Amino acid sequence: MYIMFVNKKVHLVWITWLAVTVSYCLAGYCPQEECSGTEQSNVKAYNCKDIETYIKCMKSLSKKCRGDISYHSAVTVLNAEFKKKCSGTDDGTKNNGTNDNTQSIIPGIYNRPVCPVLFDDHHEHKFCGLFGDPHLRTFDGRSQTCRIHGAWQVIDNPFISIMVTNDGILNSTSATATTKLTILLKSHISDCTTQKIYEAQGDFQLPESFGDGSTKSVSAFSTTVSLSWRSNDPNSETVIIRLSYISTIITITRVGKYLSVSAKLPNELAQTFNQEKNELCSSGCPTSEQFDIEKSVINDLEHSLNLCRDSIGPTGHQLTDQYLDWCVFDLMTSHDEQFVNASHAAYSDVLFFEPQSLLNRTISVFESGHKSTANITQCGCLKIFFIIFITIYKFML
């Protein structure tokens, strides 16, 4: 009996210690007690000003308390109480305890449900980009140059769809470039976003908003979708679309009359695609549409190399790796120096999204091929010189 009694005591102490520890940890992660010293059950005793202050304080903890059930429960209670007590009664008339000034202070956003965050920044992400003649960097890291005319699906998953249209380049028989782009944000729970469409054409300045005139979608305590626009120079703009609930960023850049697009998605979304649709970021270009730039006809190589290698990007960088190769190739095939700026825009996206993928190779594949030939010639000359030297030496002996 004594042993059983001791065991029960030990068990009770262990449970108490565990409860205290868990409570302490949860409080550390979501310090909502900082917002009010009053129990949540007594929120009905608050006046409208107190509830307003409480809501603002809870809003400031939205990032720290994301995913905390007690936090979201408290927010739900606050929203319901404010709506009932301060916005009006069930029959639609104002409550006598509420003044007009207080109602004007609280935006309607507080009464909206929270948009669930499906993916956050802690997930592994994948990068994809398309620009130039056109050149593709797939989610799995493949670099391709493609001969794709017409409309092509770049990305398609349950949340977003990106399509481009590639047209032939003036004064070139084979080169194409992206001249039209459509991004569809699919409706996902009305509190995250309604359907939004963004369309761009190379002949015009990038639009500063979605097709419906909006630049964002807002949930209870956060912006779920945002669109920002900036001018790079008189002939170039960049648009950045952020979708916080799926931790996704899309950038669109116009340089002259050419468009480029880049996207960074959680790995789970990058792997969600329909193989029958030939999505470029996931499947790459069809084999029949791929082109080996090293087998291209060399045309005005020295000028193209110097222009691409010596150019400086908007962040002070120089082109390296395949972006240097693609710049040289585009100049040789199109003779349009706007492709130098387009290469820098795409390179800037890689520096921002996935800099670890760059090896900082500063010698173009076109240049290295010619240098290797020169090296072989130099080696041949040295061998001949050495043979002649040995022959003369032996002859003198």
Strand partners, 162: 155, 183
Is 60 exceeded by the pLDDT of residue 180?
yes
pLDDT for res 367: 79
When the pLDDT of each residue in the chain is averaged and rounded to a whole number, the result is 78
Residue 49: its pLDDT value, please? 72
Average pLDDT over residues 72-85: 68
Most confident of 43-57, 118-132, 236-250, 360-374: 236-250
What is the separation of C-alpha 98 from the centre of its chain, rounded to a whole number of angstroms?
44
Q: Show the beta-strand stretches assigned E in the chain.
A: 125-131, 135-137, 143-145, 150-156, 160-168, 176-185, 196-201, 216-218, 223-233, 236-243, 248-255, 258-266
pLDDT given for residue 76 in this prediction:
67
Helix, strand, coil share (%) of the chain residues, nearest 5:
45, 20, 35
Looking at residue 373, what is its pLDDT? 34
- Of 139 and 276, the structure prediction assigns the larger pLDDT to 139
Contacts of 97 (CB under 8 A, 6+ apart): 47, 48, 85, 86
Q: Are 41 and 49 in contact (CB under 8 A)?
A: no
Inform me whether the pLDDT recorded for 89 exceeds 50: no
pLDDT bracket for residue 223 (50, 70, 90): very high
> Residue 376 has what pLDDT?
34
What pLDDT score was predicted for residue 250? Answer: 98
Question: What pLDDT shows up at residue 393?
Answer: 41
Residues 6+ apart with CB under 8 A from 368: none
If one compares 9 and 201, the residue with the highest pLDDT of the two is 201
Look at the block and give the residue holding tokens 């193989």.
275
Helix H segments across 179-299? 189-192, 267-270, 280-283
pLDDT score recorded for residue 146: 93
Please give the sequence-ordered ranges of beta strands (E in DSSP) within 38-159, or none if there are none: 125-131, 135-137, 143-145, 150-156
pLDDT at 371: 42
Q: What is residue 349's predicted lDDT score, i.e. its pLDDT? A: 95
pLDDT single digits (tens) 93-117: 344 444 443 333 334 444 445 788 8
C-alpha to C-alpha distance for 347 and 322, rounded to whole angstroms: 10
- Residue 251 confidence (pLDDT): 98
pLDDT band with cut points at 50, 70 and 90 for residue 380: very low
- Residue 81 backbone phi and psi in degrees, to 5: -70, -40
pLDDT of residue 72: 60
What 3-state class would DSSP assign to 186?
Answer: coil
What tokens appear for 164 in the block? 């481009």
pLDDT at 116: 86
pLDDT value for 70: 60
Query: Which domains, ranges and CATH numbers included, belong to the chain?
Result: 15-111 (no CATH), 125-362 (3.40.1000.10)
d(CA 181, CA 202): 9
The pLDDT value given to residue 67: 53
Q: Which amino acid is at 116?
A: P
* Structure confidence at residue 278 as a pLDDT band (50, 70, 90): confident
pLDDT of residue 54: 80
User: Quick one: which H or E segment has residue 340?
Assistant: helix 338-353
Least confident of 124-128, 237-241, 300-304: 300-304
Provide the whole-model pTM: 0.66
The percentage of residues in the chain with a pLDDT greater than 70, rounded to a whole number, is 69
94 vs 79: CA distance, rounded Å: 16
pLDDT for residue 396 = 46
SS3 call for 359? coil
Task: Please report the pLDDT score of residue 160 as a whole number.
Answer: 96
What is the structure's pLDDT at 80? 66
- What 46-49 contacts at long range (C-beta under 8 Å, 24+ apart), as own/partner pairs, is 46/81, 47/97, 48/82, 48/85, 48/86, 48/97, 48/98, 48/99, 48/102, 49/102
How would residue 120 be classed by pLDDT, with cut points 50, 70 and 90? confident
